[in-house]
Each structure stands twice: as C-alpha cells, then as structure tokens.
Amino acid sequence: MSRGLVAAATGLLVAVSGCTSSDDGAAESSAPASSAPVEPEAAEIAWTDCDADLSQLVAGLPGSERDLAFECGRTEVPISYDEPQGATLPLFLVRARLAGQTDRIGSLVINPGGPGGSGADAALGQALTLPEDVLRRFDVVGFDPRGVGLSTPVECIPPDVKDRVVAAEPRPTTPEQVDAAFALQQELADGCAEEYGEALGTFNTVDTARDMDLLRQSLGDERLTYLGYSYGTTLGSTYAELFPDRVRALVLDAAVDPDDDPRAEAEQQATSLEASFDAYAANCVGLVAGCPLGPEPRRFTEDLLNQAAAAPIPSARPGENRQATPGIVMTAVLYSLYDAGRWPQLTQALSTARNGDAAGVFSLADAYWSRMADGTYTNTMDANLAINCADTDPGTEVPEEEVRTLATEWGQRFPLFGAGSAVGLHSCAAWEAERTPIPERDAEGAAPILVVGTAGDPVTPLPGAVDMAEDLASGVLLTYQGQGHTAYPRTDCVTGAVNAYLIDLVVPPDGQTCPA
C-alpha cells in the first residue's frame, strides 16, 4: 500500500506531495526565549496480540504463507509540542515479525504516502511483500500518523460530498467550471473548519516527524531506520532535518521535490502524468493482439470523457446507483498510471465503459479513494486535505486569477491533466487553520540517506528525487529506469541496493541506475 494521493483528476485537492513548499526556517515549536525547550517524554506502547484477526484479514494474499506474527499497539504523543507535558492524542500502530529472526537490528518504520495513507495498513502489506532478508533482521512497524486512520482521524467530509468531489469535472477550463471547483473547495474548507476549528492545524508533518521520534524511543531503537514512499519522503526528510543525529538509515522512495514552488510542482506533475499516459497508450498499441482501444488510445479516452459528460454511464454492478461522470473515468485513469500492472485492467474498464457499463471504472476509482461497497469512505481524503493545507506556507499560494489563467493554458498544453492540476493549486486558499510549513531540509550531520527515483514516475517525477538527493547533505541517488510510482522492491537491482543499505549500511554509488 505504497501509493500516494493526487488531485489532478478532480482539481479539488492538492497534489500527492501536497503544497510542500519550503520555508526559510524550520517550523519548530519552541519554549519562550527565557526558558530552555522541554523535551517530551516517550510514552510506552501498549501492545496487544491481534495476530488472529490480522492473519485472517490477509489470508489468501500473496505472501500470506509467511510465518508472521502481528501485534497492535497504542501510545500517546503531545497534541502540541509547544506544550510537551500537556494534553496528548493516541497513535495506533501495527508491528509484524517474521518467525526465526536472527541478528535482529531493530524496527523498520514505514510510511506509505498520501498524506493520508495508513501506516498500520502498510505494515500488513509490507510484511507480505518486503524481501525476507529484511524481515529476518527487522520488525516492520507502521503507525497511522496523527489525523489518519485510527490515530485521531480527521473526519469532516461526509460521504455524499466525497462522491461529489470524485465525480466533479476533472478538466475545469471554462469560467463556470472553475467557479464550481472553487465553490466545492470552499465547501470542504468550511465543513472542516466548522468541525475542528483551529485544531486543524494540529495535523501537520513537522509534528508527525516529532511523533515519529517518540515512537523510535518507545520501540527501543537508538536511531531510526525508515522506509517512506511518496509523501513519506517528505516526512522522512523532515525527520532528518529535525533529528539528524538520530538517523540510522532512511530510504526515501518516489521523492517529493523539496525545491519546487507549488506552481512548478503542479506543472511538472501534469507533464509526467501526460507522459505516463502516453507510455500506457504505446504499450496498448504495441500488444500483439492489438489494442482494444484502437490505434489512438488518447483519442478513445477523450471520446469516452465526452460521452460521460453528455450522458453519465451506468454500471451493471449489483446495487450500484451511481453513474460514471468524466471525474470517475479520469480517477480510474489516474489510479492505473501509478502501477503498470494495472494497465490491462484500465484498458478493459475503458473499453467496457465505452459500451455502456461503468463497473470497471468505478472499481478503479473507488480503490483510489478507499470507498467501500456500502458507500462509506476511509478518512484518506479528509486527512490528505487537512495535512497538505496545514503544511502549506500561505505566502506561496497562487492567486485566484492566476489559477484561472493556468487552467486555460495548461488545459491546452496538458489535455488530460493540466486544468485539474491548475485548479488544485487553489485547494488550500480557503483553509483557515494554523499553518506549519515544511522546513528547508539539508539534514546536515545525518548518516547517508538513500533517495530512490523512477524515470517514468507519473506522480512524483524524477527531478524531485534528484533535487532531494542534492539538497540533503548526505543524500545518495538511486534511479530506476522504469514506469510507475515507487521502485522498491520492484526489481532485483533496486532491491539488492536497498537491502544492502538497510541491513549492512552499504551505500550504493551516488547516481547508480537500475534498468527497467
């Protein structure tokens, strides 16, 4: 479960990495100038045996034959690090252990991205998929960050509103369409402000990084070993900036660019998404049996979007009352570009939708936003918006009139993803909660940090990994010349390099490239 979240399809939420623009100084909480900062104390983790339930949950999945034992944990962290001895909030964890561990090193802490992805879920998935060489040396530990999953979840967007968000116009270019997108953004901000008020500012990445250091202490590790994907690279590099001397090994896979301002980041992402769609289309056309979408998959998709706009497409799935709008179709496309393994499913879904049955595109779109069969959602969307906006420096927000201009210009330059990426720049404009901008990050003094980028990543383009590795004083870049979002453990080359680093602290040569 290493995917992040992106809003290019709807134009309503910020991008996968969010508006993670840097600020001139670290956003560290501190005590008054007249007193020394007070270090919070790490609370114990209350572990319970949840092996039977979690083993049943993953039964039948690839990797479930492994001899794994699962535990669930709860601990407490300060709500505000300005008041480290004050009120606390609970965090939920899952720990997975492989039987027969030898020469145990410690815990490998996981963050799957988002923001909004559940680290507890990720621990389950990674325990099934990580190389056994790693599992023999580490416990896999995933925690739901503050505001996510089972850790005081942010819940301020009702299911019917989420349905409207996903179904909304994905390519808003006309003034009326942009107005509608802005109105929905305002509705989300108003609803969350009414539910939480200033407490929304609590759910930010800087404080989550501080939480992670308390977890490190509670787990009994002298230094942190960490694997972060997508937004998880922002969290990991923020940790390294705040606690450089406490880094053992950090793998930052599918790195979010720490340098781009929101405008440049959105433009680069739109560029990469278009290129990834072209790679998907070329693959389809190159099939020996021929492409079910015909010789021009892009035109097929454009025609399908127009068809859904003129008459939303029903689904033959039993009990399904929704009809697929262009927003549903585009979300299915977007989700499938994360992983080339989903390309055949996308082709089938688009072909079937063109023939009047949207069941396939609904299946993909619902998986992307974690919508359940009963119409409820996880809090992924709520947390994604809340954390991204809490992390955003208001001074970097793009003015409304410029967003309108970009929606038109990018809609022409990037026909599928440009307008949505542009309008997504406005997502946090109505957000009223306190902001804690992501600090600039060089992590001076940290042990070597391995940054992994993928040449064909549609969501966090490769230049972001290059910049991350260059910015970090001890950053080392490893590049996978393939397609998809995230690289470890996809190929032997990437897996071997990352395993050696995690286990033996053997750092690959800076700039090493792994073939597709």
Summarize pLDDT for 372-381 with one digit per residue, the tens. 999 999 999 9
For 511, the token pair is: 């700039």
329 & 458 share domain: no
343 & 490 share domain: no
Cα(92)–Cα(120) distance, integer angstroms: 7
For 243, the token pair is: 């606690």
What is this structure's pTM?
0.89
- The residue behind tokens 């918006």 is 385
By residue range, what is the domain housing residue 128?
A: 47-154+203-253+442-514
**Active site (catalytic) residues:** 230, 457, 485
Coil, helix or strand at residue 477: strand
Give the residue among 108, 117, 4, 61 at the shortest CA–CA distance from 486: 4
324 & 470 share domain: no
DSSP bridge partners of 229: 253
Quick one: pLDDT band at residue 4, thresholds 50, 70, 90?
very low
Asked if residue 98 is part of any domain, the answer here is yes
Give the residue with greater pLDDT, 35 vs 43.
43
In tens, the pLDDT along 172-188 reads 999 999 999 999 999 99
In tens, the pLDDT along 106-129 reads 999 999 998 999 999 999 999 999
Asked if residue 6 is part of any domain, the answer here is no
> What are the CA-CA distances from residue 160 to residues 167, 205, 295, 355, 481 (Å)?
11, 28, 38, 27, 41
Asked if residue 260 is part of any domain, the answer here is no
Count structural domains, the chain: 2
Is residue 109 within 8 A of residue 243, CB to CB? The reply is no
Cα(341)–Cα(345) distance, integer angstroms: 8
166 & 222 share domain: no
pLDDT at 161 over 60: yes
Q: Identify the domain boundary among 365, 399, 434.
A: 434
Q: Identify the domain boundary among 379, 402, 434.
A: 434
Cα(205)–Cα(230) distance, integer angstroms: 13
Asked if residue 267 is part of any domain, the answer here is no
218 & 192 share domain: no
229 & 122 share domain: yes
* Residue 11, Ramachandran bin (φ over 0: left; ψ between -120 and 50: alpha; else beta): left
Cα(388)–Cα(147) distance, integer angstroms: 12
Dihedral (Cα; 170, 173, 177, 181), 10-degree rounding: 60
Cα(113)–Cα(232) distance, integer angstroms: 5
What is residue 228's predicted lDDT score, i.e. its pLDDT? 97
Sign of the C-alpha dihedral, residues 379, 381, 386, 387? positive
Asked if residue 393 is part of any domain, the answer here is yes
Q: Identify the domain boundary among 402, 434, 466.
A: 434
Asked if residue 37 is part of any domain, the answer here is no
pLDDT at 230 over 50: yes
427 & 487 share domain: no
288 & 354 share domain: yes
Cα(516)–Cα(514) distance, integer angstroms: 7
Coil, helix or strand at residue 516: coil
304 & 390 share domain: yes
122 & 249 share domain: yes
148 & 161 share domain: no
Cα(355)–Cα(401) distance, integer angstroms: 40
For 359, the token pair is: 């069941």
Give the residue among 114, 104, 101 at the shortest CA–CA distance from 379: 114
232 & 356 share domain: no
The whole-number average pLDDT for the span 467-478 is: 98
Cα(483)–Cα(344) distance, integer angstroms: 15
pLDDT at 30 over 70: no
pLDDT at 516 over 50: yes
In tens, the pLDDT along 479-509 reads 999 999 999 998 999 999 999 999 999 999 9
What is residue 37's predicted lDDT score, i.e. its pLDDT? 59
Asked if residue 398 is part of any domain, the answer here is yes
In tens, the pLDDT along 283-326 reads 999 999 999 999 999 999 999 999 999 999 999 999 899 999 99
Q: What phi and psi, each to the nearest 5 degrees, are found at residue 173?
A: -115, -30
Q: Out of 33-47, 71-85, 416-430, 474-488, pick the least confident.
A: 33-47
CATH number of the domain within which 121 lies: 3.40.50.1820
Asked if residue 209 is part of any domain, the answer here is yes
